[in-house]
Amino acid sequence: MVNAPLLFTSYLRPMVWGGRRLGDRLGKPLPAEGLFGEAWELSDHPSHASVVQRHSFQGKTLRQLMEQYAGPLLGPAAPRHQRFPLLVKLLDAWDWLSVQVHPDDEKVKHLWPGEGGKTEAWFILEATPESKIYAGLLPGVDESQLRAALAQGTVAECLHSFTPQPGDCLFLQAGTVHAVGGGVLMAEVQQTSDATFRLFDWNRKDAQGNARTLHIEEALAAIDWTRGPVHPVKTPFAQPWTGPMRHQVLVRCPYFTMEYIEGGECFSWGGTGEMQILMVLDGRGTLEGPAGPEELHRGQTWLLPAALPSLQIHPEGALKLLLSRLPH
């Protein structure tokens, strides 16, 4: 029976736009050299299956758990999902990600057969004054205007942008044109999919003078042209807090819900019969579960199976968490 909190080994991905903060700030075991942009914390995607770090399921993959224990893992949602439906990441966008778009559940069937749609949400952990997010087309921008901007290298002028702050949450429905960079460290929750179409890559070249592959026609076909500017939801993440637990709903969509939780005193969690994912955004604490106490610290992602009984969470100072779960 899967009835204990599960911690998985991070899958670290080198990226041209990455940095070193996944290790320096979030405690990931980076190699001595190289730029790393993503840590896949929880994945049942065909390109990588997350592996349990320890306890009775040590060495088991999330794929194996879904094949053998989908009911205890997902609860009432299990019949709807052959794969674990969420992919959870930490991203270090030290440089610029490409301007990109993800297809929805319908468009992906012919644009990238075998993949799934990709709606996602970001939670900003750190940003610099030079950081920026592009999210959504400016009002009135249509396909002809965007094609002209692509030819001229002025795509950014067609997009809504803002300077992110720690604690911002951005919900990006599939079909939304977006980009992020300039020192942004963030958590991401998304549908289990790696379907990304690059529209523009800032004229970037590698050491050999080669540009990354673009997918202009696929990206244009994936865009939802009715999707205008996307604005962040603000949370009190950057403010001091040592009181009782407080929480704020950030995202509700057909694929997941996301909530911000903060507590400076002991509180109970879980035991509701639904699968939950807890990301530790900041602070330290202890999680008291059926297998004994577990240390909580920044950068961890815990999968709480649906069969898990109620837990006690003991913060050491302010403990800041991101909670994701499947909709009823």
Give pLDDT, residue 270. 84
Phi, psi of 261 (to 5 degrees): -125, 135
Residue 242 predicted with pLDDT over 80: no
Residue 98's contacts (CB-CB under 8 Å, 6 or more residues apart) are 179, 198, 199, 200, 201, 202, 212, 214
pLDDT in tens, 183-195: 999 999 999 999 9
Q: How confident is the model at residue 149 (pLDDT cuts 50, 70, 90)?
A: very high
Question: What whole-number distance in Å separates Cα of residue 138 and Cα of residue 230?
Answer: 10
Give pLDDT, residue 205. 81
Whether 52 and 5 have beta carbons less than 8 Å apart is answered as no
Question: What whole-number distance in Å separates Cα of residue 74 and Cα of residue 251?
Answer: 20
Q: What value does the mean pLDDT take over residues 208-232?
A: 94
Q: What share of the chain has pLDDT > 70, as a percent?
A: 100
Phi, psi of 222 (to 5 degrees): -85, -15
Question: What whole-number distance in Å separates Cα of residue 132 and Cα of residue 164?
Answer: 6
Q: Position 104: which residue type?
A: D
Question: What whole-number distance in Å separates Cα of residue 304 and Cα of residue 125?
Answer: 22
Q: How confident is the model at residue 268 (pLDDT cuts 50, 70, 90)?
A: confident
Q: List the domains of the chain with CATH numbers.
A: 6-222 (2.60.120.10), 246-325 (2.60.120.10)
Q: What value does the mean pLDDT take over residues 164-179?
A: 98
Average confidence score pLDDT of the chain: 95
Give pLDDT, residue 210. 86
pLDDT in tens, 87-96: 999 999 999 9
How would you class 26 by CB atoms within 10 Å of its CB: exposed for 0-12, middle for 13-18, buried for 19 or more?
buried
Give pLDDT, residue 1. 77
Q: How confident is the model at residue 2 (pLDDT cuts 50, 70, 90)?
A: confident
